[in-house]
Structure 1
Amino acid sequence: MATLSTSPRRSPKGHAPAPARRWVRIAAVVLVAVVLLAAPLFLPAIANQTLVRIGVYAVAVLGLNIVMGYTGQVNLGQIFFVGLGAYVTAYGVNHGWNIVVSFVAACLIAGAVGLLVALAAARLGGLAIAMVTIALPIVGVPLAKRLDAFTGGSQGTSAIFSNAPDWSGLFNDQWQYYIILIVAAGAFLLARKLVRGKYGRAFAVVKANEAVASSMGISPYWTKVLAFTIASIYGGASGFLYLAAIQYTSPETLSFGHSISLLAAMVIGGAGSIVGSLIGGAYYILVPQWTNAIDQNFTTVSQGVILLAVLFLLPDGLVSLPRVVRRLGRRGSGRAGTGGHPAPSGAAHEAPQDHAPPTEAPQESERQNRS
């Protein structure tokens, strides 16, 4: 009893106490923050540029995850808001706007357009809303070509505002990295707070059953409008980051093929997961780079194969891989504990093998009577 009273309290499964786990999480967060802040100072320029592009599309996938992964609403036009945010940023920078004003304008204008679309489309469902969102990039490409005074037409437009200032002592790729890191970190922290709060619970209820949501006093319509608008704002922020990284945009930025690639990245990374959005952004950038290095004709095929493999083997995306590995490990340890040869359920009731079956005695007496 004395030993039990002096030992630290542990969970039933033998895990570390809750305060210890909290300090482990804090230490892990601090370590990750230090690595992210120090990485561009030691990595080559091409590695920094790759990380910058991952951050750009991770924010876009995160916005798509909010509306599809958490709310269950179809959105096949997220790339439209990315392109819109890039064009608004380019227009603001070329007309002397402050970089902060350009960022806010990109988010607000993309959010306003998303709100208008959501007000009309949120009442629809299934195939209808899919068609509405598909129309966004399909209409956006020719519209960007026609509005040449704003977009630069088919030639596109450029805006240089993310070069490192002299006082920073940094190279351009390092300065761009820190811009993307600040905006992306803020976006992910806000999304985490959103999905873990009351709005996240409302998203989950609407996704599970709209009738139940209505009975609980949650409006499915306004919840969908909110989720779609937030996703549009994230798309505008991603467009700002895109222009900071590439410093150029064109109607090709809004093409429907990119929107499908964003959707595939969300599914492969993990729908309904904040970390899965980061994995999806890494997939969007890294896999095409690797496959293009092997064979450019292999890129599309490889992406289709990876998508099918993840859908069949990891329906919850790559973010669920550690959980699946732990589950398989527990099954393996359970089998090893029984020696790998479980005893048959009726073994305890089997008759001894050295006794003759009960039918042999009547057969022997019948032979003696015949003789």
Structure 2
Amino acid sequence: MAAVSDLLRNRWVRLGILLVVAVLLLLAPLMLPVFWNQTLTRVGVYAVAVLGLNIIMGYTGQVSLGQIFFVGLGAYVTAWGVNNDWNIVLVFIAAFAVAGLAGLLVALAAARLGGLAIAMVTIALPIVGVPLAKRLVDFTGGSQGTSARFSSAPDWTGLDNDQWQFYIVLVIAVIAFVLARNLVRGKFGRAMAIVKENEAVATSMGISPYRYKVLAFTIASIFGGVAGFLYMVAVQYTSPETLHFGHSISLLAAMVIGGAASIVGSLLGGFYYVLVPQLTNAIDPNLTAIIQGIILLAVLFVLPGGLVSLPRVFRRFRRHREGTFTGAIPKTTPDSAPPVEAAPEGPEKTERQGQA
């Protein structure tokens, strides 16, 4: 294990692994059946949504329970633009721009709040969004929802629709993850970490907590809008059900199980969001919620840092075993303490014994 860990620290080895993964991702849709292509496409959609949630909650430490609202908003904007014959690039820009603008307006009002107050504001977004979507019939299609078919594979590609959709989601998701990684590892990410740790310290260092909360919430909303566009690429239909508050809770659970404040954890969260409901439905559809709750509790109990912390737990366990079996210095106990030698008798004591 130590040799493998040392090998993975080599830059060229990591680049080689990355290249192999890239090749596998490019070849996967050509070899997998339709079901798995569609499943992995949806994983990419929700991984981007979880990524946005991770930026505001995992990295900045702010409560947001309304991420699904921005996903649904991006989906509706995409459908409206496609149905009005907009250029698809313009539709994509509008999807995340409108979601980002909505997130900015909410953040300007909510970022000064804290704790339960901001949680209540974000909870209100999907709760209000569902009836609003049902009423705005001209824009949303009302309770029946609206469809937008724009992601069929062009004839010149020679690909099936599921393969073409996989590649669209793959390209946009990779760009989103690279941008997020650079963001959280740069100056902005360090400032967010300080705000999360202690707002008073951040203020003393010249960092405005309010400003970075607003920016983080806006960026999270933009990623939500991107996920909404990708949702329409994959599903090509949306309805008020897309905005349901239960989906926000599922996104939150996916972020926690994947790993908060982790880019890789967001990807794992996307897998959890898509694959675990399929697994629980296959076991017993009537027990889906109960089984998912048990899985959530089990992961949090064993891996408080989420699935992304699993390698760290293995390394800690390995070091503990090596320390146990290779003879770590034992603790000194009263039974194992060396005997104390008697002090030599001095001349005065010898003379007193002679006189006696």
TM-score, scaled relative to structure 1? 0.88
CA contact 2:63–2:118 (8 Å) conserved in 1? yes
Shift in Å at residue 314 of structure 1?
1.1
Deviation of 1:338 (Å): 2.3
The secondary structure found in structure 2 opposite 1:347 is coil
Please state if 1:51 is matched with 2:40: yes
Task: Tell me the residue number matched to 1:189.
Answer: 178
Within a 5 Å distance, the mapping from 1:13-52 to structure 2 comes to 21-52=10-41
Tell me the SS of whatever aligns to 2:285.
coil
**Aligned counterpart, 2:94:** 105
Give 1:347 shift.
Answer: 2.0
Superposition deviation, residue 310 in structure 1: 1.8
Q: Structure 1: which 4+ aligned runs deviate by more than 6 Å?
A: 13-20, 339-343
Which letter maps to 2:146?
T
Q: Which residue identity lines up with residue 135 of structure 1 in the other structure? A: A
Confirm whether residue 114 of structure 1 aligns to residue 134 of structure 2.
no
Q: Is the 8 A contact 2:54 2:262 kept in 1?
A: yes
Deviations 1:98-119 (A, max 9, x none): 1111110000000000000000
What SS is found at the alignment partner of 1:297?
helix
In structure 2, do the counterparts of structure 1 residues 154 and 221 end up closer, same or farther at CA, with 3 Å as the change threshold? Answer: same
Please say if 1:134 is aligned against 2:110.
Answer: no
1:126 to 1:253, Cα distance in 2 relative to 1, 3 A: same
**Displacement of 1:345:** 5.8
Aligned-partner Cα distance in 2 for 1:104–1:177: 20
- Distance 1:86-1:218 versus aligned 2 partners, 3 A rule: same
> Please, which of 239, 242, 251 is the counterpart of residue 262 of structure 1?
251
Q: What residue identity is the alignment partner of 1:227?
A: A
Q: Tell me, what secondary structure is at the counterpart of 1:280?
A: helix
- 2:148 equivalent to 1:155: no
Distance 1:146 1:247 in 2: 21
CA–CA distance in structure 2, aligned partners of residues 15 and 243 of structure 1:
41
TM-score by length of 2: 0.92
Q: Which residue of the partner structure matches residue 251 of structure 1?
A: 240
Aligned to 1:175: 164
Note if 1:328 corresponds to 2:322. Answer: no
1:306 aligns with 2:278: no
The residue type equivalent to 1:180 in the other structure is V
How many angstroms apart in 2 are the aligned matches of 1:198 and 1:343? 48
Q: 1:130 to 1:16 in 2, by over 3 A?
A: closer
Question: Which amino acid is 2:50 matched to?
Answer: V
**1:211 alignment counterpart:** 200
Q: Letter of the aligned partner of 2:235 in structure 1?
A: I
Which deviates more, 166-175 or 27-36?
27-36
SS in 1 for 2:27: helix
Residue 88 of structure 1: aligned partner: 77
Cα distance in 1 for partners of 2:93, 2:325 equals 58
Match of 1:108, SS state, is helix
> Aligned AA for 2:220?
A
> Aligned residue for 1:3?
none
Residue 217 of structure 1 aligns with an amino acid whose one-letter code is G
- One-letter amino acid matched to 1:184: A
Change (3 A) 1:343 1:180: same
CA distance in 2, matches of 1:297, 1:328: 38
Q: Which has the larger radius of gyration?
A: 1
What residue in structure 1 maps to residue 65 of structure 2? 76
2:275 paired with 1:286: yes
Residues 142-167 of structure 1 deviation map (CA, whole Å, 9 limit, x = unaligned):
00000000000000000000010100
Structure 1: where are the runs of 5+ without partners? 1-12, 352-371
C-alpha RMSD over aligned residues? 2.0
Deviations 1:207-228, CA, capped at 9 Å, x for gaps:
0000000011100000000000
Of 24-33 and 138-147, deviating more is: 24-33
Deviation at residue 15 of structure 1 after TM alignment: 9.2
Task: Find the aligned partners of 1:339 and 1:95 in 2 and give their Cα distance.
Answer: 72
- Aligned pairs, how many? 339
Q: Distance in 1 between matches of 2:79 and 2:152?
A: 15
Moved more, 306-315 or 86-95: 306-315
Aligned partners of 1:270, 1:211: CA distance in 2, in Å?
26
Q: Deviations over 1:150-194 (max 9, x none)?
A: 000000000000010100000000000000001100000000000
Amino acid across the alignment from 1:205: I
| Aligned 1:230-249 pairs, distance under 5 A | 230-249=219-238
User: Within 2, Cα distance between the matches of 1:18 and 1:268?
Assistant: 28
1:18 shift after superposition: 10
How many Å apart are 1:20 and its aligned residue?
A: 7.2
